[in-house]
Structure 1
Amino acid sequence: MPATGPSAGPATPGGPPAVLDARALNRALLARQHLLAPAELTPEQLTAHLVGLQAQATDPPYYGLWTRLADFRPEQLSTLVEQRTVVRIGLQRGTIHLVTAEDCLTLRPILQPVLDQGLKSSYGRRLTGLDLEALTERGRLLVEQAPRTFQELGGLLGADHPDHDPAALAQLLRARLALVQVPPRGLWQSGGPAAHTTAEQWLGRPLDTPATGEQEQLRRDDLVLRYLAAFGPATVADAQKWSRLTRLAASVARLRPQLVEFRDEQGRTLYDLPRAPRPDPGLPVPARLVAPFDNLLLSHADRSRILPSEHRTRVMTANGLVPGTLLVDGLVAGTWQVLRQGATASAVLRTFADPDRTTRAELADQADRLLAFAAPDAQQQEVRFVAG
């Protein structure tokens, strides 16, 4: 039987680490993600605990908080965006995340290598021969004069560099400056292009000073600890997949005296915080509707603890879109979307297998809650099950 207690360690003192099977890892992940029971946290506190919510589109962070908090309302998060308490910025994996203002200022310097590598691999050749420092400072002046879209920035910079791709010039600024997307981008059910300014300008505070040596190590170590608190137990490869930082094995080695170790069924070493929750693998869990692009599905090298391999291509689409998903017994078992047609709002639940009567009722109840949250103004609301 896998070790499951909050302070479980090796099976016997000095013996080999206990084995956590996929079900044990699933329950641990759901507990830390507050998907077993609603979190007794504010939206800001939960956003910080999760180390941000992935946010390529506007609404997924709202759904991410809705599924984890009791009585969450969209205006709670919109107000935080407008008050500059949370911001949208490129961070883990180079993707847009909604994070607290404090995390924006502290995490962005740590994750600078991720943005640098993304720029080099995607646009490096298109920036050959340019004075990147001068372009960066020119861009800083432009976005601090007024928030600007990447299309605007590409046009303004391209006027002085007609032989270079305007899109590459704009992406140079995304990588080298801490650019946040300003409202109305990020407000509930709002659209339109994203306009950017610097985090320093928007928040009225400087970024953490770039660190080297021991200070940089301490910052990376702290990031690993926060990852384990929200996503562990996990391997070094998992932490690197989540962040896209490299060389995190060195952080784990430094942290090892304060961690506990397990093995997964493939023999890989899993690291964890001693007091982090590891519920009984047999714990029954409720059906859930999980947000599109939710980091629950994107933060491990081996995602089988939450996403069965046979369903991966149905969820991780070729064009990079990740739909909202259904969790049944803690595992992805389908997808969902909300459709509006005239006065009718529909929650369409696409299941990969025919659910039993109890599961169907649980999912329908969650879908009713979803419609009350996402489309309270609809004159008619309906839940539709579709075989997928």
Structure 2
Amino acid sequence: MTVTISWEAASARRLERQFLANPATGAAAVPTVVASMLGAHAQVLSAAELSIGVRITGATRTDVRAALWEHRTLVKTHGPRGTVHLLPTRDLPLWTSALPAIPSGASPFAPEVRVTEQQAQQIVTAIEDALDGACLTIDELSDKVVARTGPWAGDRVMPAFQGMWPRWRQVLHRAGQSGALCFGPDRGRKVTYTRSPRFDPLPATEAVPALLLRYLHAYGPATPAYFAKWLAAPTAWAARLFEEQAASGAIEEVAFEGASAWVAAGDTEFPSRGWRGVRLLPYFDAYGIAAQPRESLFPGEAYGRALARGQAGNYPVLLVDGAVAGVWHLRRQGKRAVVTVEVLGPSSGALKARQEEALAEQVDRLGEVLEARPELVRGEVRVGPHA
């Protein structure tokens, strides 16, 4: 008999496994929490610090930075979707084998801008050699990559924010995903790069299925389309992977939200009821990006208000009982952290008494993570996405 899973049960289990329902305790839990999230999106490092901090009682942004730059239990590098993430150092053997094995879509660049596969591999090798024992800015790294490859790599043909970048930079994320590169501490206002810690990578034939099982543990039940969207991978590739793992007995089918979905084999225990509580999640929090289906996580007005053209992560969100019920915005004013919360829905911004109390506690928690004095303001969030 096929097990049937409700949205409420799936949401409650995901929140538990994300340390959102019951936060971990103490700074030593930082890498464990990041592993449970399958990485913390860190294009904006302060958002990653909040994502991790709200999942650990007593942790602050200083603890996250210490894990990254002092203890080196975290690494800042290119993770899922080629975007910058914080990943546990101990998980690099898996990530750096699985991510390069995922087929990418068509190049967004014009044919005369692209690099061949042979050139891409040459660039990654040059990056790895240049960063061995060094910590370089992007300009310093560019000089060394071009010296090791040839002038073609330095041609400024790649459209960028304020001009043109050298050709080789379209491969930068591949270097991060393969372990040739990670971020180093900032040098003043300049970003630096260095070589990732040494490790023995897993065979890709082991790493890709292992990544799927970790994803299903954290975010299941899931479909191939959900997995592909999370990775920015071709859906057909994900479907074949699911078929292979189902045939091997590693995953099993369940009924979820009126459709077929999958969990890791034997992992069919779910809470008997939905989670009740309030959480504030920052920009690009892993839960908001990976949890599916979007229509259930962002019900009603939240679908149009808390997503940017259907893309999750561009707004910090208010979770009430496991679903998005509002948006919020943080403004730093010296040592103050002013948190404006806009509640959505037919209740015209009203929350129940227990939810109001929980919201105030969450704002206090944000202040603790930020090492600032928190202040809650109720009202309309007027800023746009990713402001």
Deviation of the 1:259 alpha carbon: 3.6
The equivalences for 1:91-106 within 5 A come to 91-106=79-94
Secondary structure at the aligned position of 2:87 is classed as: strand
Pairing 1:1-388 to 2, within 5 Å after superposition: 10=1, 17-39=2-24, 42-82=29-69, 83-114=71-102, 117=104, 120-122=107-109, 125-128=112-115, 131-144=119-132, 146-154=134-142, 160-161=151-152, 163-165=155-157, 166-176=165-175, 178=179, 179-184=181-186, 192-199=189-196, 203=197, 205-208=198-201, 211=203, 216-246=204-234, 247-256=237-246, 257-275=249-267, 277-281=269-273, 283-300=274-291, 302-308=293-299, 310-317=301-308, 322-342=314-334, 344-353=336-345, 354-358=349-353, 359-376=355-372, 378=373, 381-387=374-380
Length-normalised TM-score, structure 2 = 0.80
Structure 2: give runs of 5+ residues left out of the alignment: 158-164, 382-387
Greater Cα shift, 361-370 or 39-48: 39-48
Q: 1:258 to 1:385 in 2, by over 3 A?
A: same
Q: 1:125, CA displacement in angstroms?
A: 4.1
Task: Give the alignment's TM-score, normalised by structure 1.
Answer: 0.79
Which residue in the other structure is 2:161 paired with?
none
Amino acid at match of 2:243: A
For the 8 Å contact 1:151–1:167, the answer to whether it is kept is no
Paired with 2:240 and 2:208, the residues of 1 have a C-alpha distance of 10
**What 5-or-longer segments of structure 1 have no aligned partner?**
1-9, 11-16, 186-190
Letter in 2 for 1:183: P
Change (3 A) 1:276 1:58: farther
Change (3 A) 1:365 1:337: same
In structure 1, what residue type is equivalent to 2:173?
R
Q: How many residues align?
A: 354
Residue 368 of structure 1: CA displacement? 2.1
Once residues 126 and 369 of structure 1 are traced to their aligned partners in structure 2, the CA distance between those partners, rounded to angstroms, is: 47
Amino acid at match of 1:43: V
8 Å CA contact retained: 2:288, 2:312: no
Identity of aligned residues (%): 23
On the 8 A contact 1:148/1:195 being kept in 2, the answer is yes
Shift of 1:385: 0.7
* CA displacement, residues 43-69 of structure 1 (integer Å, 9 cap, x when unaligned): 111222222111111122221222222
Check the 8 A contact 1:292/1:323 in 2, yes or no: yes
Instruction: State whether residues 344 and 382 of structure 1, in contact with CA within 8 Å, keep that contact through their aligned partners in structure 2.
Output: yes
Q: Are the counterparts in 1 of residues 283 and 316 from structure 2 also a CA contact under 8 Å? A: yes
Q: Distance in 2 between matches of 1:273 and 1:306?
A: 25
RMSD: 3.0
Aligned counterpart, 1:13 = none
The equivalent of 1:7 in structure 2 is: none
